[in-house]
């Protein structure tokens, strides 16, 4: 009864604070404070100060602002435009044509950004005008871009995986490596959707692109080389054990600054804008993590996570049934909270449950990223929907409809992960130490 009473109090205070439009980080701290005062004898102030400092001073967390800054630099310079220019010649011959640049562009930019919103904005501002000019259907342009941008959450460096790793004290590099193969599989599913559209709706195809010689295609591809080198430098340095996640992030920042300087596209204004953009995003995520750390401590004192884990254990649910239930839970939660908030808010409860069920925490990290990706394109709080609304001037309802097939493909990705868990665990198990 004590645990049930504590749950009711926690949920009531949480929804009251979130409903009052208070910042999520402060809302989490408020819930934790109430829990400490009502259910423990430990001074809440001392506990909060100690926990917040411990969570905020984590060395692992230093990778977060660096990866965010790297994405900001690329977003504000000409590197992103060159990436699209180098991709287009190789996409035009595929069934579905240049629509594939949405998927391929998001996949490559995700490997140097880590942010879904940055990926969407960068690729969208390049591809939307070009695809419209060539006569591609609007619903395909918007829908494929909405879905593909979510790859920024999975393909390393992923901000969501960093937050998840810090929350459960797991290796960031292993989580990064775990996201590579599932990210590419999901990109393949998105591309297969475009191929299906190409053959099922031939009347909607635009005029074929003018032919290009191999020499011309190779000449255009030179614009893609700088970004690919940066991707290999960041991911390769982690895989081969040459750098930790934080060191790889520093390599990425230096690499993106160097490339932008060589291109002469890094102005003083762009430099300071990228720095301030990274600072704002990092501060927001850090505040959420501080609140989550304090909430985890508070819930630990009430015994709620342990009681819930024991209850799940008594129910004798199979791992597959538990994953199915958590999929529904996170989809519903994602309708009201952004991805990072969903992760940190639930880890104190969910982590004991999955460990009790014998589910691999690395695999679960990739699963949770897929279901959080759905939250980016489902109303009413789908962040990617709002970004696309600002870029295309369409209604949220229209954008949501165009993204429905992509949500279906993400659900299919969950099924694939359950059926083939090695997709997420093989690379981390074979990483060079």
- List, for residues 21-59, the tens digit of each pLDDT value: 777 778 778 888 887 887 777 777 777 787 777 767 767
| CA pair distance 66, 68, nearest whole angstrom | 5
Determine the angle formed by the axes of helices 422-429 and 396-419, rounding to 10 degrees: 70
Q: What is the mean pLDDT of residues 60-81?
A: 75
Match 């004798």 to its residue by tokens.
316
| CA pair distance 46, 42, nearest whole angstrom | 8
Q: Out of 56-60, 95-99, 111-115, 373-377, give the one with best mean pLDDT.
A: 95-99
Residue 312: predicted pLDDT: 65
Residue 306: predicted pLDDT: 64
Q: Do residues 357 and 312 make contact, with C-beta atoms less than 8 angstroms apart?
A: yes
Lookup: tokens for 129: 């005008």
pLDDT confidence band for 327 (50 / 70 / 90)? confident
Residue 403 burial by Cβ neighbours in a 10 Å radius (0-12, 13-18, 19+) = buried
Which of helix, strand or coil describes residue 206?
coil
Q: Do residues 179 and 158 make contact, with C-beta atoms less than 8 angstroms apart?
A: yes
Lookup: tokens for 71: 């994405």
Q: How far is CA 324 from the centre of its chain?
A: 21
Q: Out of 58-67, 274-283, 304-313, give the one with best mean pLDDT.
A: 274-283
Q: What is the mean pLDDT of the chain?
A: 81
Q: What angle do CA 393, 396, 402 make, to 5 degrees?
A: 95
H or E element that contains 402: helix 396-419
**Radius of gyration from C-alpha coordinates of the chain:** 22
Q: What angle do CA 320, 165, 235 make, to 5 degrees?
A: 105
Give which of 183, 195, 188, 239 is closest to 417, Cα–Cα.
183
Residue 2 has a CB neighbour count (10 Å cut-off) of 11
Lookup: tokens for 39: 């259910």
pLDDT at 117 over 80: no
Residue 186: predicted pLDDT: 94
Residue 364: predicted pLDDT: 94
Determine the angle formed by the axes of helices 225-239 and 79-91, rounding to 10 degrees: 100
Residue 85: predicted pLDDT: 74
| CA pair distance 353, 355, nearest whole angstrom | 6
Give the side-chain half-sphere CA count within 13 A for 427: 22
Residue 181: predicted pLDDT: 93
**Share above pLDDT 70 across residues of the chain, in percent, rounded to a whole number:** 89
Global pTM?
A: 0.77
Residue 16: predicted pLDDT: 80
Residue 427 has a CB neighbour count (10 Å cut-off) of 19
């Amino acid at each position: 009864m004590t645990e049930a009473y504590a749950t009711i109090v926690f949920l009531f205070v949480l929804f009251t604070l979130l409903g009052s439009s208070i910042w999520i980080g402060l809302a989490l701290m408020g819930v934790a404070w109430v829990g400490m005062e009502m259910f423990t004898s430990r001074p809440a102030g001392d506990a909060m100060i100690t926990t917040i400092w411990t969570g905020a001073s984590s060395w692992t967390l230093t990778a977060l602002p660096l990866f965010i800054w790297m994405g900001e630099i690329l977003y504000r310079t000409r590197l992103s435009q060159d990436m699209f220019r180098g991709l287009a010649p190789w996409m035009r011959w595929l069934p579905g044509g240049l629509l594939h640049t949405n998927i391929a562009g998001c996949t490559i930019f995700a490997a140097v950004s880590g942010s879904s919103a940055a990926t969407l904005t960068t690729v969208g501002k390049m591809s939307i005008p070009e695809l419209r000019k060539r006569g591609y259907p609007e619903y395909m342009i918007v829908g494929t871009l909405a879905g593909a941008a979510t790859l920024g959450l999975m393909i390393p460096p992923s901000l969501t995986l960093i937050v998840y790793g810090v929350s459960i004290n797991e290796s960031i590099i292993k989580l990064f490596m775990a996201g590579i193969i599932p990210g590419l599989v999901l990109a393949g599913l998105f591309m297969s959707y475009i191929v299906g559209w190409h053959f099922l709706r031939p009347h909607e195809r635009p005029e074929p692109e003018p032919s290009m010689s191999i020499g011309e295609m190779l000449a255009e591809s030179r614009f893609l080389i700088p970004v690919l080198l940066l991707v290999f430098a960041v991911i390769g340095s982690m895989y081969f054990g040459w750098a930790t996640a934080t060191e790889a992030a520093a390599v990425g920042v230096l690499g993106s600054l160097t490339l932008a300087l060589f291109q002469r596209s890094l102005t003083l204004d762009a430099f300071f804008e990228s720095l301030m953009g990274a600072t704002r995003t990092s501060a927001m995520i850090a505040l959420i993590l501080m609140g989550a750390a304090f909430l985890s401590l508070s819930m630990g004192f009430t015994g709620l996570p342990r009681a819930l884990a024991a209850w799940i254990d008594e129910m004798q649910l199979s791992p597959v049934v538990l994953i199915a239930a958590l999929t529904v839970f996170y989809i519903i939660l994602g309708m009201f909270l952004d991805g990072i908030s969903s992760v940190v808010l639930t880890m104190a409860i969910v982590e004991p449950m999955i460990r009790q069920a014998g589910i691999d925490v690395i695999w679960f990290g990739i699963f949770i990223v897929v279901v959080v990706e759905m939250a980016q394109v489902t109303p009413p709080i789908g962040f990617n929907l709002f970004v696309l609304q600002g870029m295309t001037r369409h209604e949220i309802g229209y954008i949501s409809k165009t993204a429905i097939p992509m949500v279906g493909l993400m659900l299919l990705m969950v099924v694939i992960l359950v059926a083939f868990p090695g997709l997420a665990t093989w690379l981390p198990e074979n990483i060079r130490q």
